[in-house]
Amino acid sequence: MQKAFVIALPEEVGHISELHGHPVHYSGVGKVNAALASASLAARGVQEIVNIGSCGSSRHPTGEILRVGSVYQDIDCTPICIYGHTGFEEDSHCIVFDEGAEHTCFTTDYFFDRRQLAKYSPDYLRMVGECSVFDMELYALAKACRRYGISLRSYKWVSDDGDHSQWLENCRLAAHRIMAMPEL
């Protein structure tokens, strides 16, 4: 198997099992699930992963599709190291996996809810504002792909701005558009 698509949830792409003749793998939500899916695909010899999925954004409108090229993580190991870096690990703050893509992603362990801003740290809120989009899987996918020598591309569509009330409907609308993209 040369190429595979990794998507967190079937609802994001209408429950399909393949796209453009390549298998679709549903990882589940979050970094742990994404890392496990990537490792499983690496063990099967996949050489390219294309990640497709919904995301939030405070900078781009709902429905916009973005090609992401670098990803930051939500991790706080202070006082061992500064926010966003993994303790005792070099080159952990940002992973650049697609030099031709200008958009950035902040992968977090929280669903960002703009009605609950007080629960987030200032560093977290800064990253939500600075990055093009935020999700819950891409950092883990990028780290696993880097470790296993797998090429990675990621296409995210903005499903919300921190208001999840229309998430499922926005997935339905975006799924048709993204699956028709010839560059996938």
Does residue 122 surpass a pLDDT of 70?
yes
Q: How far apart are the first and last CA of the chain?
A: 16
Paired tokens of 13: 């792409």
Beta strands at 3-7 and 22-26: parallel, antiparallel or unpaired? parallel
Sequence ranges of the domains in the chain: 3-179
Across the range 100-128, mean pLDDT stands at 94
CATH topology for 3-179 is Rossmann fold (3.40.50)
Across the range 4-14, mean pLDDT stands at 94
Across the range 78-90, mean pLDDT stands at 88
What is the C-alpha to C-alpha distance for residues 69 and 47, in angstroms, rounded to an integer? 18
